[in-house]
Structure 1
Amino acid sequence: MNINDNFRFLCMGLPDDIRRKKECGDFDGAVRLIDKKLAQGKLPEALCRSLTVQREILLRLPQDYPYSRAAAIAQIQSKIADFTEAEFNSLVEEGRIDWIYVQGQQHFFSRFFASLCKTDRVFAARAGEPWDEGTISPREVAANFVKEKGEVSARVRCRAELHIKEEAFVKGEKVRVCLPLPVACDSQSDICIEYANPKPSCITPENAPQRVIYWEQTMQENTPFTVEFSYTRTAQYHDLENPATTSERPNFDTEEVAPHIMFTPYLRALTAELTDGVEQPLEKARKIYDYITENVTYAFQPAYFGIENIAEGCARNLRGDCGVMALLFITLCRCAGVPARWESGWYVEPGSSGAHDWAQFYAAPYGWLYADTSFGTGAVRAGNEPLRRFYFGNLEYYRMAANTEFQADFAVPKDHWRVDPYDNQLGEIEFAERGLRGEEFECKKEILSLELL
């Protein structure tokens, strides 16, 4: 059994004594109680599997929240000399700085400062950080070009590399390494592996739901694992301002998938409120997209590994990153009976690349359409309503899709915990006895070329 399958049982919840220790930040005590309960051998399998996941979450969670209150304030004051504790308290109370308890004391999210700089123009200016929202970006130019031409294809070549950090490298250790590859999908074709070093053990099929190149070898030297690939990305424009109507109501891709795509009472109520009186699937999806893009604030998130219900957490807190928003969109669409599914990989704008997630939804007679809720919220920040509307139904061509399913297994051996048990954009490495954590290796991505066809 793949140990990562245990995540499907994460929604079973925690016994009260363990939950209380987790909430107050007594992680060692919570792990100790889990070990005792698992050792008794009297628990139902579902709860055992949930506790197995929770134990690993408890071991990892504090790493995402390293800053004490004093350290967090000091980090801001190193960039904004006149920043006050009262300002910090206000940001925390407004929910703009994420925190948990660690041993009963508040500890703050590792990327809180970067998140504030990305989403708050005034804060970024005070910190001396660049702010480009509102300027005409390559993203907007590409979106307008797709809208003008109706269909645009680009040939893209990329390079990716994984390298074990020296402090984690063990000479003579057998390693298994995976890097994401482009997957064949509606908008992606003509995929070619141009170069790989060392020689890979396996390249999974083009239609794999999470496609990877895989190496398995015993390492004598700490050399990187590298792949170069090319593909064609095609963006088609759909004008949805005056949409066609249909009586078609397909039921594929409308099911729940534990633990994150769940129709909880709150999400059912929210779906009913957003789609009240709306019959057409396209318009239901539009209502959901509008709600998310106009009400959810973009914020960097801790590792998905440690989040118990991604979609509901986003709906309750009205904060999230690209994947969190995409999962909320997918969950609400499915709850409304609108087929929806995951797609993710990289954003590959020339000179810049990064991991990114988005969604698809199905609406006859158009078929599968795209929705990028996080880029939609970015357009809201920039006051760019046409761009916000573009990302309902459409994408530009600056994409590399590696995953077409959330929470899918790799088609290669994986015996230990993944860094990301749900998605794959940066790659995975495991030794014979354990999986490496994200801080133990480096991933590099590079866009070598992007040419319009």
Structure 2
Amino acid sequence: MKYNGLFFTFFLFLILIGCRHAPVNEKTGIVPDSLAIITERVALDFPFTETEIDKQLKEKIGTFTAEEKAEWENRNWLEWKIINGEKRYFSRAVSNLNLIRKFHNQRAQRDSIEARDPEILSRKSHTQEIIKVSGKDAEPAIPVNLTINYTLTVDADAVPPGETVRCWLPYPRENHLRQQKVYLISTSRGNFILAPDSAIHRTLYMEAKVEKGVPLVFKLSFSYESSGQYFNPDNIPVNQYNKETAFYRKYTSEEPPHICFTEKVKDLADSIVPKRDNPVETVRKIYSWFTANIPWAGAQEYSILENIPEYVIQNRRGDCGMQTLLFMSMLRYRGIPVRWQSGWKVPPGAKNLHDWCEVYFEGTGWVPVDVSYGLQYSTNQKTREFFISGIDSYRLIINDGIAGRLFPEKKFLRSEPFDFQRGEVEWRGGNLYFDKWDYDMEIIYN
């Protein structure tokens, strides 16, 4: 199947149709504001002029020639678009260029620096402890207890005074062995709605009225226990899948536009792994290919990207979610069940939005895989390959899939239509995009 701009527009149309109050042209079936909304979002992601980006390049990279800059642009290492007839650069163009250049041109130096990075060293030590205490049954290990104070603040006068703002905040899932003892401590509004644990995106919903000139603040506090887990690959049996079940079909199917079996996705998967390889070997080889070929880089907002797996293939880079969507597309194409999982990574001093996945092996069950963390710097194979079949304790799981409906349903196109980590906000006049509000997560390690 070919996924192009028309398909992407149609998919946005389906999302907006799901938002019951979205205005639809009865003759064409097209949501008239959808393309305008996406155009505005693209402009926000590409704010810098050429003069501004040249200044940033001199500050961050130093002296460069016109030829070097042209090469970076031709390879799309320095990302830009023509918007309203003007060349505009991605908000993270220069920082991404630095990452990409180090990955391709200064690999030995980059590896040496990263091998000594305190965050990476701490992560490796933590995963070694998980391996040490994990038994054959791969029970959750090394639990950590955390309290989260989450705040979402809508800008003053972003909405007219007296209007009601609807807000969805992230809340932890409770149906995971690795995530237990979830307790709601407090909310800033007594009238709230907690999404059922079966929802794809776990949310806590609140409403509040706007006062003139005053920021509107939504707060949420909760605690939970999170554990790591490690599955020794030697203990994962190579059993055949029952391909006739609804379960198998669900987790090996496409979910366009970002989990898809395009020709480029299929060709890449087949070039990495022979079709005769078993699922465990297929996962290992594709995972290792990512470590060798795809550097982490800051991403555009997913709502403005037509096809994330093909973007990663073409540009040879991606953030955690982009890498995971390509990884999942290749595994599902090869008949291996895999599902999306996301929320936050929450290690001390390194909290951030984060995406990963779980792979299903017959006879074992769901096994966590974090493709963007990559192979660790170690001569010990289990430590090196930990994240192919394991996960650390410092996670907050919010989502068990992509592009689900919020609870209660949102009326307008979401700021992030596929994932849910920061929150969502709207009023009767429309969605409030990320430029109209801020979020903050305070973590207390108990």
Cα deviation, 1:355-409, whole Å, max 9, x if unaligned, reads 00011111123211111111117x47x9997655111011100100111111111
Q: What is the correspondence of 1:139-288 to structure 2 with a 5 Å cutoff?
A: 139-150=123-134, 151-184=141-174, 185-220=176-211, 221-240=214-233, 243-250=236-243, 251=248, 252-288=250-286
CA RMSD, 1 decimal: 2.9
Higher mean C-alpha displacement, 226-235 vs 397-406: 226-235
Q: 2:314 aligns with which of 276, 292, 316?
A: 316
Question: Aligned match of 1:133 in 80, 101, 114?
Answer: 114
- 8 Å CA contact retained: 2:194, 2:204: yes
The 2-side partners of 1:172 and 1:370 are apart by: 46
- C-alpha change, 1:68 and 1:305, in structure 2 (3 Å) is same
Change (3 A) 1:87 1:272: closer
The question of whether the paired residues in 1 share the 8 Å contact of 2:152 and 2:440 is answered with: yes
* TM-score using structure 1 length: 0.82
User: Counterparts of 1:199 and 1:9 in 2: how far apart (Å)?
Assistant: 45
Partner of 1:100: 81
- Asked if structure 2 preserves the Cα contact closer than 8 Å seen for 1:10 and 1:259, the reply is no
The answer as to whether partners of 1:329 and 1:359 remain within 8 angstroms in 2 is: no
Instruction: Compute the displacement of 1:260 (Å).
Output: 1.3
1:74 aligned to which of 41, 45, 55: 55
**Counterpart pick for 1:12 among 7, 11, 16:** 7
Distance 1:383 1:279 in 2: 25
* Residue equivalent to 2:396: 400
Q: Where does 1:8-87 land on structure 2 (aligned, <5 Å)?
A: 12=7, 43=28, 45=29, 48=30, 53-87=34-68
Encode CA deviations 1:171-192: one digit per residue, 9 max, x unaligned: 2121001110001224212211
Indicate how the Cα distance of structure 1 residues 288 and 410 shifts in structure 2: closer, same or farther if over 3 A, else same. same
CA 295–80 in structure 1, closer or farther in 2 if over 3 Å, else same: closer
Q: Secondary structure at the match of 2:440?
A: strand
Q: Tell me which amino acid in the other structure corresponds to 1:259.
A: P
CA contact (8 A) 2:236 2:364 kept: no
Percent identity, aligned pairs only, is 27
Q: Could you give the per-residue CA deviations for residues 41-89 of structure 1, whole angstroms, max 9, x where no partner exists? A: 654x4xx36x764442123212111122222111122345534444433
Q: 1:325/1:11 Cα in 2 relative to 1: closer, same or farther (>3 Å)?
A: farther
Q: Name the CA distance, whole Å, in 2 between partners of 1:175 and 1:383.
A: 54
Cα distance in 2 for residues equivalent to 1:232 and 1:444 = 20
Q: Contact between 1:352 and 1:447, CA under 8 Å: does it hold in 2?
A: no
- Relative distance call for 1:332 and 1:107 in structure 2 (3 A) is same
SS in structure 2 of the partner of residue 273 of structure 1: helix
| AA matched with 1:397 | S
Distance 2:153 2:113 in 1: 32
Letter in 2 for 1:57: I
Change (3 A) 1:121 1:288: closer
Alignment CA distance shift 1:431-1:383 (3 Å): farther
Q: Could you say which residue in structure 1 is the equivalent of 2:13?
A: none
Q: Give the Cα–Cα distance (whole angstroms) in 1 for the partners of residues 306 and 363 of structure 2.
A: 36
* Residue aligned with 1:292, SS: helix
Distance 2:198 2:168 in 1: 16
Q: How many residues align?
A: 408
CA distance in 1 between counterparts of 2:56 and 2:73 reads 15
Instruction: Identify if the C-alpha distance between structure 1 residues 166 and 386 changes in structure 2 by more than 3 Å, giving closer, same or farther.
Output: farther
1:146–1:11 Cα change, 3 Å: farther
TM-score (norm 2): 0.83
Within a 5 Å distance, the mapping from 1:235-384 to structure 2 comes to 235-240=228-233, 243-250=236-243, 251=248, 252-376=250-374, 379=376
Query: Structure 1 pair 350/132, CA: closer, same or farther in 2 (3 Å)?
Result: farther
* 1:437 and 2:417 aligned: no
Q: Which amino acid is 2:398 matched to?
A: A
The match for 1:5 is none
Q: Structure 1 209/175 Cα, relative in aligned 2: closer, same or farther at 3 Å?
A: same
Counterpart mapping for 1:104-123 below 5 A = 104-118=85-99
Taking the aligned partners of 1:393 and 1:54, their CA distance within structure 2 comes to: 41
**Does structure 2 conserve the Cα–Cα contact (< 8 Å) formed by 1:9 and 1:259?**
no
Moved more, 206-215 or 336-345: 206-215
Partners of 1:14 and 1:401 lie apart in 2 by 30
- Matched-pair contact (CA < 8 Å) for 2:156–2:216: no
Of residues 433-442 and 200-209 in structure 1, the stretch that sits farther from structure 2 once superposed is 200-209
Aligned to 1:410: 406
Q: Which amino acid aligns with 1:355?
A: L
Distance 2:380 2:327 in 1: 21
State the distance in 2 between where 1:13 and 1:426 align: 23
Unaligned 5+ residue runs, structure 1? 1-7, 16-37, 126-130
Deviation at 1:233, TM superposition (A): 1.3
Point out the more displaced range, 184-193 or 156-165.
184-193
- Report the Cα distance in structure 2 between the residues aligned to 1:365 and 1:10, rounded to whole angstroms: 41
SS of the residue corresponding to residue 431 of structure 2 reads coil
Is 1:278–1:284's contact at 8 Å kept on the other side of the alignment? no
